[in-house]
A and B are shown apart, each in its own frame.
Chain A
Amino acid sequence: MSLENIVIQDAQIGQINFEQVKKRQRAKSFIKGMLFLLPSIILFSIFLFYPLGRTIYLSFFLTNAAGETTVFIGWQNYVNLFTSPIFMQSMKSTFLFVLYTVPFTIIISLFLAMIANEKLKGIGFFRTVYSSTMGISVAAASVFWLYLFHPSIGLLNMILETLGIDGIGWLTDPDWALFAVSITTIWMNIGFTFLILLGGLQSIDSYLYESADIDGAGYFYKVRRITIPMLSPTLFFVVTVTIINAFQTFGQIDILTQGGPVNSTNLVVYSIYREAFVNYKFGSASAQAVLLFIIILIMTFLQFKFGERKVHYQ
């Protein structure tokens, strides 16, 4: 029916203007596409892009307690940060924390994924156990470890004492606190990282191993020559995610140490939180947030630039 209609119209015009029809169709499909994307775009704009811009803007101002800007001070917030020993300590702790957590998370999870990838009876049980920490929230995990690290009744010190070693002030000794927080974090990360790496291992074609078996390759040779290269895209992804997560650590600190002792665990997000919502210095906090954003941007960029080249894609 509609075919007839259009044709009759066309006949009256005599010549169909295809260009115009095409243009109209293109406009229609653009509107349709935007309608599908609009909900996401609006929310991204309000809760991601606008705040990003606003944060940069705020970082050049002093603010009152309600977060309204009072005095424009240019780069002064940044200058203050880089001359503040507390912030420099925070940066140092953050980088050390990344250095402690990322490699160990990956190595441990990879090891677990490899032994959980063998075809053995009851392997499903172990997979569930390994991935269980993914279901444990930051708050719960921190509470578990808060007890484990407890100086007098904590399990770790009890074990040390029965072995005849003096107890450690896990969360009270500035030399140990960051290390203790890192252990907690690694434990929490294992579940997710394990799950992703196991998925990566399972997607490697078994015929690769079978043909290596025929060639008489040993277990470690296969790991080095097949598993690691074939797993490299997954590893690449996992490393990126773990690094970014490490920079965004907050919950563990809030429950375990509140940034102490003597600021040794005052990681950057916790520092931002304290500056903004305890000290109400939103300008300075925003400057820190901008730095955090830049660091993560650089990290992702470096990852893609240097990581991707070594990655073997199938």
Chain B
Amino acid sequence: MTMPISKRIIFYVLLFITGFIVFAPTLMALVMSFMSNKDIMTGSFPTMLSFDNYVKAFGQFPLLKYLFNSFIISALIMLGQLILSSLAAYAFVFLEFKGRDLLFYLFIATMMVPFEASIIPNFHTIRDLGWIDKYEGLSIPFFALAFGTFLLRQNFKQIPKELREASQIAGMGDFKFYLSVVLPVSRTSLLTLGVYGFLTSWNMYLWPLLATTNDSVRTVQIGLKQLQTQEQLNDWGVIMAGAIIVVIPTLILLFISQNKLQKGLTEGALK
């Protein structure tokens, strides 16, 4: 199964070129975040590198506060999605009751309703609940997740039915079985879904833009937009420093869990 050397060279050349192109914007932003404004404006190669831009970004904007908010909101959404999706998936796999299939189709149907098409009433709901500028308003609407339910359902289906039956004979109830067997057995896919939920929540844009009006719960994405609108004309180094701060947590998370994420998402995507 070894590849001839000529073929291997072709692949490596392709890999390096495409890899460079895909990574270039990120790399460029990273380099720029350490460059002086003068070098950027004149388009020269960096003559000196410093943390000045980061110092400025943190000094001029409550970036730490934004990071903290994003972290809280993403963690809340992640937990909410894990709990709700795993409960629902359990019902679809291990419980038999009238109307189950109908409800399953209802869950599928939710995938066809784009959140963007229902932001107007949702905005009003949040406003009427007094959840504008609150963590609840930014997290709770995203707790129920059809995709997560399918992904976990797929995984729970691989748990042998006999495990449930053995626990039935031992006299164990459904909720206890869910807690003490199903969740520990499928921790890998829970982790996958958790990472996915955290990533997508961290990167949310439209909803935090609408549901925050001040810095108290504003997320780092909206912070970055503000940084950009206010600094646009003069200081690209600071903007890039802000952008790098925004992407570092998710990139690290992605690098750590890339393999699991890939397997998990493929499983969930294809029944």
Q: Which residues of A contact B (CB under 8 A)?
A: 26, 29-30, 32-34, 36-37, 39-44, 46-52, 54-55, 58, 67, 111-112, 115-116, 118-120, 123, 126-141, 143-148, 153, 155, 158, 187, 190, 195-196, 198-200, 202-203, 233-234, 237-238, 241, 244, 247-248, 250-251, 254-255, 269, 272-273, 276-277, 282, 285-286, 289-290, 292-293, 296-297, 300
A289 vs B113: C-alpha distance in the bound complex, in angstroms? Answer: 11
A26 vs B99: C-alpha distance in the bound complex, in angstroms? Answer: 12
Contact B141 A293 (CB under 8 A): no
Contact A51 B118 (CB under 8 A): yes
Contact B174 A139 (CB under 8 A): no
A51 vs B116: C-alpha distance in the bound complex, in angstroms? Answer: 11
Q: Which residues from 69 to 105 on chain B have a C-beta closer than 8 Å to any C-beta of chain A?
A: 83-85, 87-88, 90-91, 95-100, 103
Contact A137 B203 (CB under 8 A): yes
Which of chain B's residues have a CB closer than 8 A to the CB of A34? 97
Which of chain A's residues have a CB closer than 8 A to the CB of B221? 137-140, 251
Q: Which residues of B contact A (CB under 8 A)?
A: 1, 3, 8, 11-12, 14-15, 18-19, 22-23, 25-26, 28-29, 32, 40-41, 43, 83-85, 87-88, 90-91, 95-100, 103, 106-107, 110, 112-125, 140-141, 143-144, 149, 174, 199, 202-203, 205-206, 209-210, 221-222, 224-225, 228, 236, 239-240, 242-244, 246-247, 250-251, 253-255, 258, 261-263, 265-267, 269-270
Contact A40 B113 (CB under 8 A): no
A-B CB pair tally, cutoff 8 Å: 281
Contact A52 B117 (CB under 8 A): yes
A123 vs B95: C-alpha distance in the bound complex, in angstroms? Answer: 43
Which of chain B's residues have a CB closer than 8 A to the CB of A135? 199, 247, 250-251, 253-255
Which of chain A's residues have a CB closer than 8 A to the CB of B228? 143, 146, 255
Which of chain B's residues have a CB closer than 8 A to the CB of A248? 114-116
Name the contact of A144 in the complex, choosing from B29, B117, B270 (C-beta under 8 A): B29
A290 vs B1: C-alpha distance in the bound complex, in angstroms? Answer: 55
Name the contact of A115 in the complex, choosing from B11, B149, B222 (C-beta under 8 A): B11
Contact B120 A282 (CB under 8 A): yes
A250 vs B203: C-alpha distance in the bound complex, in angstroms? Answer: 13
Between-chain CB contacts (< 8 Å), 16 pairs = A29-B95, A32-B174, A36-B174, A54-B120, A112-B22, A128-B255, A131-B254, A132-B251, A132-B255, A137-B221, A187-B25, A202-B266, A234-B270, A237-B269, A237-B270, A272-B119
Which of chain B's residues have a CB closer than 8 A to the CB of A42? 144
Contact B250 A137 (CB under 8 A): yes
Which of chain A's residues have a CB closer than 8 A to the CB of B266? 196, 199-200, 202-203, 234
Closest to B266 in A: A199
Which of chain B's residues have a CB closer than 8 A to the CB of A26? 97-98
